[in-house]
Amino acid sequence: MERKSSPDPAPSWVPARGHALRCAGIHFDAVRITGVAGEQVASEIVRFTGFDAGPIVRSRVGEQGVYFLLPPLSANAHHWPAGAEVMSRGGRTAAFVGVPALRGPTWPLDWRSLPTTSTPFVDAVLLHGLTVDVLAEGTGGRPAGS
């Protein structure tokens, strides 16, 4: 990962050290994509934005998900394909996302792309388009779920 060297202050929801759970739909919405597809979407959005994609968190345990952090209450404005899980308010249960500190040991979480003052969140429209493209590739070009 190419990190942007910036004196940007951390958003209030980023812990000073280690990592912390944050409730999705409060400070941000999240879209989780697991495995190779998550890494592929992350690589494409980072490249497309010139390495200023906004906050993308990776988990190195379990299903090894990639979490794209969007503006609060923005994820439900899109119909996400199978393989992309929306985490926001409004469901029957609360969804929590692990958020690592900007520096220091944060295992099993790390940043694929940092939040910055200029890009505090991942662009939901861009993420949706790339997610549809990547997940459709895995289904032989058909939209996921077809």
Q: Is the pLDDT of residue 79 over 90?
A: yes
What is the structure's pLDDT at 8?
65
pTM: 0.88
Q: Can you give the three-state secondary structure of the chain, one letter per residue?
A: CCCCCCCCCCCCCCCCCCEEEEECCCCCEEEEEEHHHHHHHHHHHHHHCCCCCCCEEEECCCCCEEEEEECCCCHHHCCCCCCEEEECCCCCCCCEEEEECCCCCCCCEEEEECCCCCCCCCCHHHHHHHHHHHHHHCCCCCCCCC
Q: Is the pLDDT of residue 143 over 60?
A: no
- Mean pLDDT for all residues in the chain: 89
